[in-house]
Amino acid sequence: MKALIFGPGRIGCGFVGQVLRKAGYELTFAGRGTVVDNLARVRAYRVRLTDGNHARDEQYDVTSVRAVQTSDVAGVRAAAAEADLIAVSVCPDNLHVIAKVLAAALLSRTSPVDVIAFENCTDPGGSLREAVLLCAPELASKGHGFSSALVSRIVTGRQGEPSKNAPLVFLGDRASTFVVDGTTLRNPLPPIEGMRVVDNFRAWAMKKLYTFGAGHAATAYLGALKGYRYVHSAIRDPEIRAAVLAAMEEGRQGLLRRYGLELAGTHAELHEILARFDNAALNDPVTRVGRDPLRKLRPDDRLVGAARLAQEAGVSPSRLAMAAGAALCFVCALDRAACPAPAATVRTVAELDPIRGLGRAVLEAFAQLVQGREDDNVLLSLEGHVWSWSRRDAAELGKA
């Protein structure tokens, strides 16, 4: 069995490649840059999995890999032509970028194949199919499957210098399950350890996004406001820990109401998620987890989507709204000059009404959090909204 994986990044190598190789697939990676050169030259890489106790670390050498630059059209076509499975892990916003290359590769095939998009969103397979058919409408009748998959693993980074001849190392936690949308698969997949094929993928995607994803993002955005550098330190802050747990519980309540206990899981599972955020061995900066905040503020994504679902369940999503407000602060911190008006972001990105309901709650949370925010400032208290320094008049601050 052969698999072609677009995107030799954290998830592509650190999860997809490892589980497929373990299941017996021969791997070819397609991508850009020096990592592809390294994989092509070294033909192997390593995945190190840790739960924070290095004595229990697991290492997997992913061997006999091949790699081609996506600019090598003939090479990609050749790999696609003989692939039994194509996986894509390039970040949701890049699906349209890879679509042209993928379309050209699929046109070279004589038989249908399953393409699985491993991305953190509710329907990446559908988005990819749409983008591919825009490039090559004739593929609509070829019977290729465009499915979606969600992975549970956190893969935080890559170690090693691609220009050298040593294998790169991808560092992740030990979570090893993934969920595949079975309704859009062309052919049944062979047994793969950790894989669960489901027919209600959207619900599973929401489960991951609205509990784990919401908690992870909330930790990053609140952690950034309070001046922490790492997820593992931010989550140790009692205020942040309480807020993150409450935000995940709001999301879980929404899932519980819509899908029931089996999918929503128990409150105890949220503590297991917190324990994963505690894992310092992942060395995960809040800036990495918080990146791309506008995508994370979309209506179906982890913060706003979870909050909407909670509201449907009759739960007031105050902590999710606060996390979304913190995400708006993060947007401004990334580029103050290009910072969009928060109300406009709430309206156009989150697709919420800024003057009522959830949109208003997000903006109020933002207004409270951002009041007094300055460069290099640290929020001392989420509740009291006290900043480490303030431009306000000294007299107003009690001659401080």
Answer yes or no whether residue 387 interacts with other proteins by CB under 8 A: yes
Interface mask toward other proteins for 353-382; x: CB under 8 A: -------------------x---x-x-xx-
Query: Contacts with other proteins in 297-316 (CB under 8 A)?
Result: none
The CA distance from 11 to 175, in Å, is 12
The CA distance from 72 to 79, in Å, is 11
- CB distance 5 to 89 below 8 Å: yes
- Identify the residue among 183, 233, 287, 311 touching other proteins (CB under 8 A): 233
Answer yes or no whether residue 394 interacts with other proteins by CB under 8 A: yes
Answer yes or no whether residue 400 interacts with other proteins by CB under 8 A: yes
Answer yes or no whether residue 187 interacts with other proteins by CB under 8 A: no
Pairing of strands 58-63, 44-49: antiparallel
The CA distance from 381 to 133, in Å, is 50
Instruction: Name the amino acid, one letter, at 28.
Output: T
Least separation, in Å, of the C-beta of 35 and other proteins? 18
Total of chain residues touching other proteins, rule CB under 8 A = 31
Interface mask toward other proteins for 46-75; x: CB under 8 A: ------x-x---------------------
Answer yes or no whether residue 397 interacts with other proteins by CB under 8 A: yes
Query: Contacts with other proteins in 208-227 (CB under 8 A)?
Result: 227
Comparison of 183 and 283: residue with beta carbon closer to other proteins: 283
Report which DSSP code applies to 285: B
- CB distance 195 to 203 below 8 Å: no
The dihedral through the CA atoms of 92, 98, 99, 102 has a sign that is negative
DSSP bridge partners of 29: 5, 67
Interface mask toward other proteins for 244-283; x: CB under 8 A: ------------------------------------xx-x
The CA distance from 166 to 97, in Å, is 30
Comparison of 140 and 397: residue with beta carbon closer to other proteins: 397
Half-sphere exposure of 256 (CA within 13 A, CB side): 16
The one segment of 241-249, 350-358, 362-370, 385-393 that binds other proteins by CB under 8 A? 385-393
Comparison of 204 and 387: residue with beta carbon closer to other proteins: 387
- Identify the residue among 146, 201, 228, 277 touching other proteins (CB under 8 A): 228
The CA distance from 99 to 102, in Å, is 5
- Residue carrying structure tokens 């706003």: 304
Least separation, in Å, of the C-beta of 331 and other proteins? 21
One-character DSSP codes across 119-158: -SSS-HHHHHHHHHHHH-GGGGGTT-EEEEEEE---EEEE
Binding site for other proteins (CB under 8 A): 52, 54, 227-230, 232-233, 236-238, 280-281, 283, 372, 376, 378, 380-381, 386-392, 394, 397-400
